[in-house]
Amino acid sequence: MLKKNSNLTRRAFLKRTAALASVPYIVSASALGRDGKVPASERIVLGGIGIRNRGSSDLQWMLPEPDVQFVAVCDAQKTSREAVKQMVDTFYGNKDCAMYSDIREFLATRTDIDAVLIATGDRWHALASVMAMRAGKDVYSEKPSCMTMAEGRAVVETARRYGRIYQTGTQRLSEGNFVFAIELARTGRLGKVHTAYAHIAPWDAAEMRHDWLPAQPEPPKDEVDWDQWLGPCPWRPYNAEYTRGGWRGHYDFHTSCIGEWGAHTFAQAQAGIDALDTSAVEYEYVNNPTGDEMVTRFANGVKMILSRGDKWWRGSCGMRFDGPEGWVAVADGYSKPDVSPPSLMADFKKIVSDYMARTGRPMSHVRDLFDCIKSRRQTVANPVVMYRSMSTVHAANICMWLKRNVRYDPVKEEFINDPEANRLRSRAMREPWTV
């Protein structure tokens, strides 16, 4: 509507409008979906939070997906956000990737973003996921996806309340060798599985450090926003070693050697014994620093044994299932799983293809996420899968910290007659960084 005091007459306005209408409006072929490109209206607009190291690998995995467009990165460290921008701009051949240092500004202003990749340190995974889902974003979160049982439950409830799609980074649930082993166990080809083995990381310990590194002069906020880097953790003095990965092994920031790989392998093991919707109920303390050889038991009677070494497999994030009719083991780097008897390998392709047909899942963890963002079905590593497997992780840690056996009720989501263990299901979160 023209203002009454406008200097533009009605005749001049109509003349200008006609002139503009005669100018051709050029729309790029890629925006229209020509030349094999996905139309802009059908692309998933992606952003990143705390992407570095592992997160960069995730992003390299996601960028080639034709229906994904990465547009912005948020990171408390300037060097990290600049490195991501350079990688993204190089991939797309432009300079369009935006940078943010404050997660609140990022989530509030980028209403165009559909989903976020979260690859911060452990301390931020659950909180960033909750904040992103409240802001209307779908989420891919690296593991371990929660620091406590309470955080894991908050992720489940937030995803449910806001109707968001969530995938945790347990990518071996979408890899052929691991899917084959899980399906051998799950479908009874080994007989009734009595024992599963799950790899825990061969570094650090279950009981972590409670001290902190010596104070160093804090850098300018634009270089490292230290308050935001710490997030929900207790205030600790700045030390550059933290920002280079030296937070591992510290109780404030880490989920121990059990959480480091158990976040992967417990979900893998629980998938094979049909226990993705529950957690182990018994945890037997082992008198060593790491939890190696701890026996956990599920309500269905299956044992899951934690193993730090390579007794049962070769490589990282290994798992094994034993039944009366045979066993299967696999880890990273295998060309094919180890089985006994060898005849179990005869149906490898069929078993994997049957799984894909039955579930509609691709053998790509990120593709599963993007497909589910479009269809709004639950992902293979959805919030409940994350929460239940991470509850097993946290209960195993609590067993080690208390140095005694514990029993857990996955229905009530509490330890049985054990106030001391129940207090460790959550931690205080530093304001304003709370779920």
Q: How deeply is 201 buried, as exposed, middle or buried, from its count of CB atoms within 10 A (0-12, 13-18, 19+)?
A: buried
Kindly list the distances between the CA atom of residue 34 and the CA atoms of 38, 240, 326, in Å, as whole numbers in the listed order: 8, 48, 53
Task: Give φ, ψ of 200 to 5 degrees.
Answer: -115, 155
Share above pLDDT 70 across residues of the chain, in percent, rounded to a whole number: 92
Assess whether pLDDT exceeds 70 at residue 32.
no
Strands (E), 202-274: none
Residue 56's pLDDT is what? 87
Task: Give φ, ψ of 16 to 5 degrees.
Answer: -65, -40
Examine residue 432 and say whether the peptide bond preceding it is cis (omega within 30 degrees of 0).
yes
State in Å, rounded, how far the first CA of the chain is from the last one: 45
> How many Cβ atoms are within 10 Å of 376's Cβ, its own excluded?
10
**Residue 227, H or E segment:** helix 226-230
Assess whether pLDDT exceeds 70 at residue 137.
yes
Residue 38's pLDDT is what? 85
Residue 375's pLDDT is what? 98
Tell me the pLDDT tens digit for each residue of 84-132. 999 999 999 999 999 999 999 999 999 999 999 999 999 999 999 999 9
pLDDT band at 35 (very low <50, low <70, confident <90, very high): low
| Average pLDDT rounded to a whole number, residues 322-351 | 98
Residue 39's pLDDT is what? 85
Compute the mean pLDDT over every residue in the chain, rounded to the nearest whole number.
93
Q: Which residue bears the tokens 């960069």?
A: 56
- What residue segments make up the domains of the chain, in order of their start? 38-171, 172-207+254-423
pLDDT band at 8 (very low <50, low <70, confident <90, very high): very low
Cα 267 to Cα 170: distance, rounded to the nearest angstrom = 8
**Is there a contact between 343 and 206 (Cβ–Cβ < 8 Å)?**
no
Closest CA to 43 of 109, 92, 113: 113
Tell me the pLDDT tens digit for each residue of 356-401. 999 999 999 999 999 999 999 999 999 999 999 999 999 999 999 9
| Average pLDDT rounded to a whole number, residues 197-217 | 96
**Is there a contact between 30 and 37 (Cβ–Cβ < 8 Å)?**
yes
| Average pLDDT rounded to a whole number, residues 184-188 | 97
Residue 5's pLDDT is what? 41
Assess whether pLDDT exceeds 50 at residue 20.
no
State the Cα angle at 57 between 98 and 334, rounded to 5°.
165
Tell me the pLDDT tens digit for each residue of 56-82. 899 999 999 999 999 999 999 999 999
**Residue 265, H or E segment:** helix 256-272
Cα 78 to Cα 243: distance, rounded to the nearest angstrom = 11
**Is there a contact between 163 and 382 (Cβ–Cβ < 8 Å)?**
no
DSSP 187: T
Closest CA to 404 of 305, 288, 293, 284: 284
Tokens of 229: 């880097």
Task: Give φ, ψ of 295 to 5 degrees.
Answer: -100, 125
Residue 23's pLDDT is what? 44
Cα 129 to Cα 119: distance, rounded to the nearest angstrom = 10
Higher pLDDT, 310 or 100: 100
Domain spanning 38-171, CATH class = alpha beta
Task: Give residue 270's Cα distance to chain centre.
Answer: 17
**Is there a contact between 298 and 280 (Cβ–Cβ < 8 Å)?**
yes
Assess whether pLDDT exceeds 50 at residue 27.
no
pTM: 0.91
| Average pLDDT rounded to a whole number, residues 159-178 | 98
Q: Which fold has domain 172-207+254-423?
A: Dihydrodipicolinate Reductase; domain 2 (3.30.360)
Tell me the pLDDT tens digit for each residue of 238-261. 999 999 999 999 999 999 999 999
